[in-house]
Amino acid sequence: MGSEHQTEELAVLLKQTGEAHDEAFAATDGEDPDWAIWYAEYLHDRLLPFLAAPITRSRIVFCLVAIAEEHETADPNAPWTGFYAARILECLGSAKRPGQDRLALYHFEGCPYCSRVRRVIDKLGIDVELRDILEDPTYLKELNEARGRRTVPVLRIIGADGEERWMPESADIVWYLEATYGQTAA
């Protein structure tokens, strides 16, 4: 899970990336409609120390675009580097001690994205508490308070040290579970 120090280190890397991008696109005043592709190329190898497992450039593009939309919605005036760093570590960062983590999946039965995550949980034989937001309003309230939105699936990870992280997006959850628990499942 991402520590405060790791978040700060990643924020510095993102700031450097932004500066390099601005230099590369000085002639267009930094305007680049494909900025996420450029960032993904620049960050690909540099992100490895922060991630649970290697990731493709296309996955980085997907994550950057999703984070940009979330930043614009959540707090567009907040410094982008810290916001992006925290979200990248939340969604793609490694676990400190996965065997000691407590996992809970916020989902509902008819959601196809939730089904995708539940299939991976079953395949890997991972102990995950299933919290159906339509069956128990308490779970919906917890999710909404933590994430500011009701979209599912979201994996809640509580580390042995009590650190908590909320991981949205079925593709990120599947990637994380397979990278973190796939090698231990037999």
User: What pLDDT is recorded for position 2?
Assistant: 47
Amino acid at 16: Q
User: What pLDDT is recorded for position 40?
Assistant: 95
The predicted model scores a pTM of 0.72
Please give the chain's pLDDT, 186 residues, in tens: 447 888 999 999 999 999 999 999 988 887 899 999 999 999 999 998 888 778 889 989 989 998 999 898 888 888 999 999 988 988 788 777 777 899 999 999 999 999 999 999 999 999 999 999 999 999 999 999 998 888 999 999 998 888 888 998 899 899 899 988 986 543
User: What pLDDT is recorded for position 52?
Assistant: 78
User: What pLDDT is recorded for position 1?
Assistant: 42
Distances (CA, A) of 145 to 6, 149, 150: 25, 8, 9
Backbone phi, psi, residue 165, to 5°: -145, 145
User: What pLDDT is recorded for position 51?
Assistant: 85
User: What pLDDT is recorded for position 143?
Assistant: 95
User: What pLDDT is recorded for position 120?
Assistant: 97
Q: Secondary structure of 144-171 in the HEC alphabet?
A: HHHHCCCCCCEEEEECCCCCEEEEECHH
- C-alpha closest to that of 84 among 69, 98, 94: 69
For each of the domains in the chain, give its residue range(s) and CATH number, in order of start. 4-92 (no CATH), 98-181 (3.40.30.10)
User: What pLDDT is recorded for position 104?
Assistant: 97
